[in-house]
Amino acid sequence: MAEQTPVRQSALDGHAVAGHHGVEGAGVTIAEIPDLVLWQMAAWSDTIDSAASKAVQQAGVESVPGFTSASGDHRRAVLRIEPLKFWVFGASVSSESAAQSVVLDLSHSRTHLRLTGDNATDVLNSFMPIDLREQSFPVNSVASTALHHVGVTLWRSDAGYELFLPRGFALSLWELLRDASLQYGVIVK
């Protein structure tokens, strides 16, 4: 019997052709970040502070993020996605008691894309009705928003836009992002 878990297959496998596409230049880079590790920690109104501290501690980041914010960097971070829910990116978390918090592995539920480049904002704003200007959506901002009517989570990390797409919609949405990026020149990774 196998000792290790098998290699994970992405929703984009066999579809995303790496390389340069569209016009000359590289206004946008769309990279799929494989093997997502994403856990949810949800607490209660009377335990949220202590639970958040524990999530931050387990994730190895410095501070508890405020609403619609993240703390950490593009390798490990804690994102506050709802008043009583955090996502821990890049590390798993556990809970000693459901009375304190509950945790949930969501690592297979999302496809993780990273968009960078001068025109990454233009591409995202081709679909998303949120203000992504630097002053409104600075690094470590988090938003639950919509992309082509599909609910997605967007986080601006130190490395670019981190986009978490529901896995079943990932290929369809990735195609839209790629198509919208061709006019700026896009590198697919």
Partner 1 sequence: MSASRLKTGGHIDRTREIEFRWDNTRYTGFKGDTLASALLANGETIFGRSFKYHRPRGVMSAGVEESGAIVTTGKANRRDPNVKATTQEIFPGLEARGQNAWPNVRRDCGAVNNLMGRFFSAGFYYKTFMGIPPFEWGRKGTGIWMQYEKLIRRAAGMGKASREPDPDHYEHGHLFCDVLVVGSGPSGLAAAVKCAEQGLDVLLVEQDFEFGGDYLNHSSEESLRKRDAALAKLNSAGARVMSRTTAFGLYDYGVAGLLQRVTDHLPNPEPSLPRQRFLTLRARHTILATGALERHFAFGNNDLPGIMNAHAADAYVNRFGVLPGQQVVVATNNDSAYNTANQLARVGASVTLVDARTAIPDSISGLLGTRGVELVTGSTVLNAVGKRHITAVELADAVGSGWKQGPTRDCDLLLVSGGWSPVVNLLSHRGVRPQWDHDNCCFVPAPTNEAITSTGSSLGIWGNSDCEDAGRAAADAAIASVGNQTNTVAMPAAGGWETPLQPLYEVNVDGVSKKSFIDPQHDVTADDVRLAHQEGFVSVEHLKRYTTLGMATDQGKMGNIIGMALMAEALGKEVPDVGTTTFRPPYTPISIGALAGRAFGAHFKALRRTPMHDWNLEHGATMVDAGLWQRPWYFAREGETITEAYIREATTTRKTVGLCDVTSLGKIAIQGPDATELINRVYSNAFAKLPIGKARYGIMLRDDGIVMDDGTTWRFSDTDYFMTTTTAHAAKVMVWLEELLQMRWPDLKVHVTSVSEQWAGVAVAGPNSRDVLAACIADASVVTNDALPFMGVVETTLANGAPCRIARISFSGEMAFEVYVGSDHANGMMDLLHTQAMLVDGCLYGTEALGALRIEKGHVTGVELDGRATIDDAGLGKMASDKKSYIGSALRKRPELMREDRPRLVGIFPKDRSEKFKAGSILCRTDKVAGHGEGWITAVTHSPELGHWIGLGYISGGHEHWADSTLVAADPVRTGNTEVEIVSPHMVDPTGERMHG
Among 37, 139, 143, 150, binds partner 1 (CB under 8 A): 150
In contact, 80 and 142? CB cutoff 8 Å = yes
Is 99 a binding residue for partner 1 by CB under 8 A? The answer is yes
- State which of residues 9, 19, 67, 96 lies at the interface with partner 1 (CB under 8 A): 9
Interface mask toward partner 1 for 11-30; x: CB under 8 A: x-xx-------xx-------
The closest alpha carbon to 35, from 9, 56, 57, 68, belongs to: 9
Q: How far apart are CA 145 and CA 147, in angstroms?
A: 7
Does 68 participate in binding partner 1 (rule CB under 8 A)? no
3-state secondary structure of 125: helix
Q: Is 166 in the site for partner 1 (CB under 8 A)?
A: yes
Q: How far is CA 69 from CA 144, 153, 155, in A?
A: 11, 12, 8
C-alpha–C-alpha distance, residues 142 and 69, integer Å? 5
| CA–CA separation, 75 and 73 (whole Å) | 5
35 touches 101 (CB < 8 A): no
If binding is defined by CB under 8 A, does position 172 make contact with partner 1?
Answer: yes
Least distance to partner 1, CB of residue 111, Å: 9
Exactly one of 37, 109, 139, 159 binds partner 1 (CB under 8 A); that residue is 109
Instruction: Report if residue 110 touches partner 1, rule: CB under 8 A.
Output: yes
Position among 31, 130, 143, 159 found at the interface with partner 1 (CB under 8 A)? 130
CA 21 – CA 35 distance, rounded (Å): 25
Interface residue list for partner 1 (CB under 8 A)? 1-6, 8-11, 13-14, 22-23, 40, 42, 44, 84-85, 98-99, 102, 104-110, 122, 125-133, 135-136, 148-150, 166-169, 171-173, 175-176, 179-180, 182-183
